[in-house]
C-alpha cells in the first residue's frame, strides 16, 4: 500500500470519528437540554401549583418507569409522562443509535471503496501481462 493510500485511509478514519463525535455531542446536548427543560417545567409547576402538585407529578412519572430501550421508543412516539422525555429520548437516539450507525456505514463505505480500488488495480495488472 502506498503512502498516498495510507494517508487517504487515515483521513477517512478521522472523518468517521469526527462525524460520530459530532453526532454523539449533539445527542449529549439534547439529553442535557431535556434535563434542563424537565427541571424548568418542575419549577414552573412548583411556582404555579405548589409542592403537592410537584409531588403528584413526580409520583405519576415514577409509576411509569420503563426499561431504557422502551423509554427511547416511547419518548420519540410521545408516550412518556415526563416533560423533558422527548428531548432526552432524541438525544439518546443520537448517542446510542445514529452515531454508531453512521460510523459503521462510513467505515463500510471506506472498506468497500478500498476493496474496489484493489480489485481494479489487480485487473489492470492482469490485463497488462
pLDDT of residue 127: 59
Q: Is residue 104 part of a domain?
A: yes
pLDDT of residue 75: 87
86-117 as b/e, with b when 16 or more CB fall inside 10 Å? bbbbbbbbbbeebbeebbeebeeebeeeeeee
Q: Is residue 45 part of a domain?
A: yes
Q: Is residue 48 part of a domain?
A: yes
- The model's pLDDT over 18-68, given as tens digits with 9 standing for 90+, comes to 999 999 999 999 999 999 999 999 999 999 999 999 999 999 999 988 899
pLDDT classification of 1: cutoffs 50, 70, 90: very low
Higher pLDDT among residues 75 and 54, named by residue: 54
Q: Is residue 110 part of a domain?
A: yes
Q: Is residue 33 part of a domain?
A: yes
Higher pLDDT among residues 43 and 110, named by residue: 43
Q: Is residue 2 part of a domain?
A: no
Q: What's the whole-model pTM score? A: 0.79
Q: How many domains does the chain have?
A: 1
105, pLDDT greater than 70: yes
Average pLDDT over residues 80-96: 92
pLDDT of residue 109: 82
Distance (Å, rounded) from C-alpha 35 to C-alpha 70?
18
Q: Is 65 left (phi over 0), alpha (psi -120 to 50) or beta?
A: beta
Higher pLDDT among residues 62 and 113, named by residue: 62
Q: Is residue 118 part of a domain?
A: yes
Q: Could you list the residue range(s) of the whole structural domain that residue 99 is in? A: 15-128
Distance (Å, rounded) from C-alpha 99 to C-alpha 68?
18
Q: Is residue 8 part of a domain?
A: no
Amino acid at each position: 500500500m502506498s503512502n498516498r493510500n495510507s494517508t487517504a485511509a487515515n483521513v477517512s478514519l478521522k472523518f468517521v470519528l469526527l462525524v460520530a463525535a459530532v453526532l454523539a455531542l449533539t445527542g449529549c446536548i439534547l439529553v442535557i437540554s431535556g434535563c434542563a427543560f424537565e427541571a424548568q417545567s418542575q419549577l414552573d409547576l412548583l411556582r404555579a401549583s405548589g409542592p403537592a402538585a410537584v409531588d403528584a407529578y413526580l409520583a405519576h412519572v415514577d409509576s411509569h418507569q420503563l426499561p431504557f430501550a422502551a423509554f427511547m421508543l416511547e419518548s420519540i412516539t410521545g408516550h412518556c409522562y415526563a416533560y423533558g422525555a422527548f428531548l432526552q429520548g432524541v438525544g439518546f437516539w443520537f448517542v446510542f443509535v445514529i452515531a454508531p450507525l453512521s460510523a459503521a456505514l462510513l467505515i463500510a463505505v471506506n472498506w468497500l471503496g478500498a476493496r474496489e480500488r484493489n480489485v481494479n488495480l489487480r485487473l489492470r495488472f492482469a490485463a497488462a501481462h
